[in-house]
Amino acid sequence: PAPAAAGRAPGPPDGGWGWVVVFGAFVSIGFAYAFPKGLAIFFKEIQDFFGTSYSEIAWVSSIMLATTYGAGPISSILVNRYGSRPVVMFGGLLCGVGMISAAFCTSILQLYICVGFITGFGLALNLQPSVIIIGKYFLKRRPIANGLAMAGSPVMLCTLAPLNQFLFDNFGWRGSFLILGAILLNCCVAGALFRPIGAGTALVKTQVAEEGKDALKGKISEDGKEMSSALNVPMENKTEEEEGKDCFEKINQYLDFSLFKHRGFLIYLIGNVLMFLGFFAPIVFLAPYAKHTGIDEYSAAFLLSILAIVDMVARPTTGIIANSKWVRPRIQYFFSFAIAFNGTCHLLCPLASSYTGLIVYSSFFGLAFGMVCAMLFETLMDLVGAARFTSAVGLVTIAECCTILLGPPIGGILIDTFGDYKYMFIKCGAVMVLAGTFLFIMNYYNYRMLAKEEKERKTKEEDPKSVRTENEGRKNWNKDSTQDGPELEPLREEGEGVKKEMNGT
Amino acid sequence: EYEIVLPGVSGTALQKNVSVGSPTKVELTCKLDENSNLKNPQVTWKRGSETISHTSKTQNSWTIQLTISDSSQLGSYSCILKGEVEVSATFHLQVPQIEGKERPIITYEGDLAVMVCKTEYAPMAWTWYMTNGTELVAINPSSHTNKFRIKRQSADVNRLEILKLTKEDIGVYWCEAAFRLGSSKRRFELRVLSIMAPLKPFIAVVAEVVILVTTIGLYEVYSKKKGEGEREFDQIEQL
């Protein structure tokens, strides 16, 4: 017997088809992160073929990475408009087309376009929607779902690296690109699994309206829409939102810029942008550093394999830990700790000069890297709520885009200037410890503020009249959208959560 | 100007490659690690069975100076330290080698094949050969302008381009760098595939994708119909 539409809505499935979606996200995210790294095998050959320098070839990777992160907002807008499934399927198609046309390229510029822009854009259309749809299918078990999905990256990397080598040895780079284009079409399969849940398009329209009452009603029914799987909830609010929209609000419809007023979002943004400055450089330079200390090529490559294997295990494990009842309410602290731990590893790396030392470093690095990645999107969802996550992830990725691109080149400059790798490790370690500490302190402040606001809201709720005023409505709406709103309610008392939703009107 | 540091414990023999392209003076030094247990060893420099006398020595290092004027003076020179244990190190003096691992070059019909050779020091001349049966035939780009192009990217990097590939171009190619003291060669194996070769796995993967997407779509339509049927049943029950 299905409950009526008013108020009491069931939570997200937290299972069932959700696990199939996690598998789809696993594949999709795996391709998005691992594919650019896997291409490095072809670079030497392509460099010889076109007679260019190494840095010109490295641009292919950079353009691809920049497009994947920079196209985040576009991805968010499309998901807000059309839902995850069509976007991922289109993304997979785009990736395939990009790589297939790359197989027929006759100049390095054409490669920039085909591999860099087209495939990069396709991967962007894969990454964001996959992360978003996990937030729609899971709430109670979301950290586990996130951890499992993010594990796709190391698994795909471990699969793609030998596969790419095999393809290259048998088909040369042109044939490999052709076949890789077909393999990327599997993202369409992953996308096909992303069954839409709730009514996707009305979501953003309802949450951006700033009018008090409308906002409250909008939030409640939006929650209801978001969380009902196949029920036909009547969309009463649509007509109310249609009035009085100016251009700014129209843009806000598709991409929620009001997030920049959201305290938790800003904290996350600043902390992460800082962190990414030192996040990827150590991976890029691990093998060269190992060779620099005299280790042979294969053992150096083995270090990266150790990193990937530890990473693979660390991500779902972190998801499980983050889901436990001790950690979940304080997940931001866990995230800050993971980042600081990562930074400390880098700071200690220069002390490891022997091969065993580097193996230990790689293992710890793999662990820390996995921990951070597993919680990367989970913490953002935790802060802004699943509804606004779509826009949040787009805005965050485009901001991170700059520092991600800057990180390795800055590391490279440090290495070239001082002729020693240790300054690069120190820089990365310091930046990450700083980011971790910043996030820790700011989240402590954030948690305190949220607790205070929660108390204020509770006292105001006793007085039904004040709930109806415009100001109060806006304040309530802001509170509802922050982490304490629908997020922790199901974790504390289910009854209380239901009561809140009903009392909101 | 070339030095090897010995640890003073017997283990794998230490080696170093020294590239010598043109006549020059070379200094080879064997140095004993300060922390080693070997004290005041007896040091001999050898080349094959021939002993060479030191040019100079300090507390823990022994040096010989060689004047290389022709290819007969290239080879392996070793220093042997005798004490409680015997340790040695070898310097291999050779003509600069062409960098790169042996790996087949895979190209396609109608495409372009590129072979690049790079050395540490610039040679006097670069020559490219193709094999005709068992013979090496030098490639003359001016007589086959539509087929071969040789480009000099820099003094130490040379590049052969083979255009409009056909199956007849399959075979072994060599690049040779000539130095005053000798020459070094590198082997390339060229393979030419037809377009059909990668097309088969390509079509296989595309077919797999299409089948999976269709299956998932059909399953979803089927389970929706089932769900609707159940709901209608429930509504009828409620009445």
Sheet holding B135-138, edge to edge: B105-108, B182-193, B171-179, B125-132, B135-138
Nearest CA in chain A to B100: A44
Kindly state the tokens that stand for A356: 């065993």
Task: Give the orientation angle of helix A247-254 with respect to helix A72-82, to 10 degrees.
Answer: 90
Q: Do A172 and B234 touch (CB under 8 A)?
A: no
Q: Do A175 and B106 touch (CB under 8 A)?
A: yes
Q: Give phi and psi for B80, each to the nearest 5.
A: -120, 125
In a domain, B36, yes or no: yes
Sheet holding B2-6, edge to edge: B2-6, B24-32, B61-68, B56-57
CA angle B145, B151, B154 (to 5 degrees): 165
Residues B24 and B63 in one domain: yes
**What ipTM goes with this model?**
0.81
Residues B13 and B82 in one domain: yes
Q: Which of A241, A223, A242 is nearest to A6 (CA)?
A: A223
In a domain, B38, yes or no: yes
What is residue A402's predicted lDDT score, i.e. its pLDDT? Answer: 84
What is residue B10's predicted lDDT score, i.e. its pLDDT? Answer: 64
CATH number listed for the domain at residues A256-462: 1.20.1250.20
Residues B118 and B145 in one domain: yes
CA distances (Å), origin A192, targets A22, A92, A130, A393, A424: 12, 10, 11, 22, 43
Q: Which of A302, A307, A398, A317 is nearest to A355 (CA)?
A: A302
In a domain, B8, yes or no: yes
Give the helix/strand (H/E) hosting B159.
Answer: strand B157-162
So what CATH class is A13-197?
A: mainly alpha
A49-100 pLDDT, tens per residue? 888 887 788 888 888 988 998 998 899 889 888 888 999 999 999 999 999 9
Nearest CA in chain B to A187: B209
What is residue A475's predicted lDDT score, i.e. its pLDDT? Answer: 46
- Least CB-CB distance to B202: which of A49, A179, A188? A179
CA distances (Å), origin A94, targets A74, A182, A185, B40, B166: 15, 11, 8, 71, 33
**Distance (Å) from the alpha carbon of A96 to chain B's nearest alpha carbon:** 10
CA distances (Å), origin B162, targets A437, B115, B198: 58, 9, 21
CA angle B63, B64, B66 (to 5 degrees): 150
Measured distance CA(A369)–CA(A181) in Å, rounded: 29
Q: How confident is the model at residue A13 (pLDDT cuts 50, 70, 90)?
A: confident
User: Taking CB atoms and an 8 Å cutoff, what residues of chain A touch B175?
Assistant: none
Residues B49 and B77 in one domain: yes
CA pseudo-torsion sign A270, A272, A273, A274: positive
The answer to whether the CB of A158 falls within 8 A of the CB of A305 is yes
**Distance (Å) from the alpha carbon of B129 to chain A's nearest alpha carbon:** 19
User: Taking CB atoms and an 8 Å cutoff, what residues of chain B touch A230?
Assistant: 227
Nearest CA in chain A to B206: A182
| Displacement of CA B9 from its chain's centroid (Å) | 32
In a domain, B216, yes or no: no
Strand partners, B119: B98
Q: Which of A288, A314, A315 is nearest to A301 (CA)?
A: A288
**Distance (Å) from the alpha carbon of B107 to chain A's nearest alpha carbon:** 6
Residues B141 and B72 in one domain: no
Ranges of residues in chain B with a pLDDT under 50 are none
- Least CB-CB distance to B114: which of A49, A181, A188? A49
Q: Do B213 and A192 touch (CB under 8 A)?
A: yes
Q: Which of the residue ranges A138-152, A174-188, B64-78 would you say has the lowest mean pLDDT? A: B64-78
> How many domains, in total, are found in chain B?
2
Give the helix/strand (H/E) hosting B153.
Answer: strand B148-154
Nearest CA in chain A to B233: A1
The answer to whether the CB of A391 falls within 8 A of the CB of A256 is yes
CB pairs under 8 A between A and B: 71
A401-435 pLDDT, tens per residue? 888 888 888 888 888 888 788 888 888 899 999 99
The amino acid present at A58, given as its one-letter code, is: A
DSSP state of B155: T
pLDDT above 60 (res A486)? no
Domain boundary among B71, B94, B117: B94
Q: Which of A342, A307, A304, A309 is nearest to A431 (CA)?
A: A342
**Distance (Å) from the alpha carbon of A229 to chain B's nearest alpha carbon:** 12
Q: Do B193 and A175 touch (CB under 8 A)?
A: yes
- Taking residues A26-30, report their average pLDDT: 94
DSSP state of B45: E
What is residue A465's predicted lDDT score, i.e. its pLDDT? Answer: 59
Q: Do B107 and A195 touch (CB under 8 A)?
A: no
Residues B75 and B107 in one domain: no
Measured distance CA(A496)–CA(A502) in Å, rounded: 10
A332-369 pLDDT, tens per residue? 999 999 999 999 999 988 887 788 888 999 999 999 99
Nearest CA in chain B to A189: B213
**Distance (Å) from the alpha carbon of A503 to chain B's nearest alpha carbon:** 29
| Residue recorded with tokens 């390509």 | B202
The amino acid present at A470, given as its one-letter code, is: E
Q: Do A185 and B105 touch (CB under 8 A)?
A: no
Whole domain around residue B186: which residue ranges? 98-193
Q: Which of A387, A499, A464 is nearest to A472 (CA)?
A: A464
Measured distance CA(B102)–CA(B188) in Å, rounded: 7
CATH of the domain at B83: 2.60.40.10
What is residue B56's predicted lDDT score, i.e. its pLDDT? Answer: 78
Kindly state the tokens that stand for A299: 């053992």
Q: Which of A256, A229, A232, A316 is nearest to A478 (CA)?
A: A256
Give the number of other Cβ atoms within 10 Å of residue A366's Cβ: 25
| Displacement of CA A130 from its chain's centroid (Å) | 9
In a domain, B207, yes or no: no
Measured distance CA(A187)–CA(A193) in Å, rounded: 10
pLDDT above 70 (res A495)? no
The answer to whether the CB of B47 falls within 8 A of the CB of B64 is no
Candidates A48, A100, A104: best to mutate against B (most CBs of B within 10 A) is: A48
User: Taking CB atoms and an 8 Å cutoff, what residues of chain A touch B197?
Assistant: 171, 175
Candidates B152, B216, B220: best to mutate against A (most CBs of A within 10 A) is: B216
What is residue A199's predicted lDDT score, i.e. its pLDDT? Answer: 41
What is residue A61's predicted lDDT score, i.e. its pLDDT? Answer: 85
Q: Do B216 and A171 touch (CB under 8 A)?
A: no
Residues B81 and B108 in one domain: no
Candidates B189, B202, B218, B234: best to mutate against A (most CBs of A within 10 A) is: B202
- Least CB-CB distance to B198: which of A51, A179, A189? A179
Q: pLDDT exceeding 90 applies to what percent of chain A?
A: 33
CA distances (Å), origin A101, targets A8, B65, B191: 52, 59, 23
pTM recorded for the entire structure: 0.77
Residues B54 and B26 in one domain: yes
What is residue A500's predicted lDDT score, i.e. its pLDDT? Answer: 40
In a domain, B34, yes or no: yes
A96-128 pLDDT, tens per residue? 999 999 999 989 999 999 999 999 999 999 999
In a domain, B205, yes or no: no
Measured distance CA(B30)–CA(B13) in Å, rounded: 13
- Taking residues A318-332, report their average pLDDT: 89
Kindly state the tokens that stand for B33: 């690690």
Q: Do A48 and B114 touch (CB under 8 A)?
A: yes
Chain A residues touching chain B at CB-CB below 8 Å:
1-2, 48-49, 51, 169-172, 174-176, 178-179, 181-183, 185-186, 188-189, 192-193, 195, 230
User: Taking CB atoms and an 8 Å cutoff, what residues of chain A touch B234?
Assistant: 1-2
- Kindly give the pairing relationship between strand B2-6 and strand B24-32: parallel
The residue ranges of every structural domain in chain A are: 13-197, 256-462
- Kindly give the pairing relationship between strand B86-94 and strand B14-19: parallel
Q: Do A51 and B227 touch (CB under 8 A)?
A: no
- Kindly give the pairing relationship between strand B75-82 and strand B157-162: unpaired
Q: Do B106 and A171 touch (CB under 8 A)?
A: yes
Q: Mean pLDDT score of chain A, rounded to an integer?
A: 79
User: Taking CB atoms and an 8 Å cutoff, what residues of chain A touch B213?
Assistant: 188-189, 192
Better-predicted residue by pLDDT, A45 or A31? A31
Chain B residues touching chain A at CB-CB below 8 Å:
103-108, 111-112, 114, 116, 151, 153, 159, 193, 197-199, 201-203, 205-206, 208-209, 212-213, 216-217, 220, 227, 231, 234, 238
Task: Give the orientation angle of helix A281-292 with respect to helix A422-461, to 10 degrees.
Answer: 160
In a domain, B208, yes or no: no
- Length of chain A measured in residues: 505
CA angle A175, A181, A183 (to 5 degrees): 105
User: Taking CB atoms and an 8 Å cutoff, what residues of chain A touch B217?
Assistant: 192
What is residue A254's predicted lDDT score, i.e. its pLDDT? Answer: 67
The answer to whether the CB of B40 falls within 8 A of the CB of B115 is no
The answer to whether the CB of A39 falls within 8 A of the CB of A99 is no
What is residue A114's predicted lDDT score, i.e. its pLDDT? Answer: 92
The answer to whether the CB of A367 falls within 8 A of the CB of A255 is no
Residues B155 and B73 in one domain: no
User: Residues A59-95, buried b or exposed e (16+ Cβ, 10 A)?
Assistant: ebbbbbbbbbbbbbbbbbbbbbeebbbbbbbbbbbbb
Measured distance CA(A484)–CA(A263) in Å, rounded: 13
Q: Do A192 and B212 touch (CB under 8 A)?
A: yes
